[in-house]
């Protein structure tokens, strides 16, 4: 299926919109950093710092496939600055939760991204 509606929002505007919107979607106590993926103008990088004593950090690559749909790739999970096995059940639940929040953020920005 060929999609004609390409993302036409400048990457810096997209980053600003995600920085404003994503924190509203996250759990209380979580924090987030969003920045431009310099290798791809349709992609963002997102690091979510999970609230709690485990000090988990989740790194995601978010790529716009078109003006509405995103692809979310988990890049890394760290705890206290060290990579951890992301296959543990508790971590898998957090990953699924954060993926959902990332998709919700993209949906809430449709007015901006869908020309």
Whether 100 is covered by a domain: the verdict is: yes
Whether 2 is covered by a domain: the verdict is: no
Q: Which two tokens stand for residue 62?
A: 């978010």
Q: Which two tokens stand for residue 28?
A: 């209380």
| Torsional sign, CA 34, 40, 43, 49 | negative
How many angstroms separate the Cα of 26 from the Cα of each of 2, 94, 107, 114?
A: 33, 11, 14, 23
Q: Which two tokens stand for residue 60?
A: 């995601």
What spatial distance separates the first Cα and last Cα of the chain, rounded to whole Å? 20
Could you give phi then psi for residue 113, rounded to 5 degrees? -85, -25
Write down the pLDDT at residue 4. 62
Cβ-contact 77, 58 below 8 angstroms: yes
Please give the Cα distance from 67 to 106 (Å, whole number): 10
The pTM assigned to this predicted structure is 0.92
Whether 1 is covered by a domain: the verdict is: no
Question: 3-state DSSP call for residue 107?
Answer: helix
Tell me what the mean pLDDT of segment 24-38 comes to: 95
Q: Which domain holds residue 78?
A: 11-110
Whether 3 is covered by a domain: the verdict is: no
CATH number, domain containing residue 51 = 3.10.110
pLDDT band at residue 65 using 50, 70 and 90 as cut-offs:
very high
Checking if the pLDDT of 3 tops 80, the result is no
Checking if the pLDDT of 1 tops 70, the result is no
Q: How many domains does the chain have?
A: 1
pLDDT band at residue 2 using 50, 70 and 90 as cut-offs:
very low
């Amino acid at each position: 299926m060929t999609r004609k509606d390409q993302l036409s929002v400048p990457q810096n505007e997209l980053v600003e919109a995600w920085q404003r919107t994503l924190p509203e979607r996250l759990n209380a106590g979580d924090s987030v950093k969003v920045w431009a993926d310099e290798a791809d103008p349709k992609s963002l990088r997102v690091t979510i710092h999970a609230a709690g004593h485990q000090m988990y950090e989740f790194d995601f690559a978010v790529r716009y496939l078109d003006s509405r749909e995103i692809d979310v790739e988990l890049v890394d999970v760290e705890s206290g600055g060290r990579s951890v096995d992301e296959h543990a059940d508790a971590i898998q639940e957090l990953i699924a939760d954060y993926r959902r929040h990332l998709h919700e953020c993209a949906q809430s920005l449709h007015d901006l991204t869908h020309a």
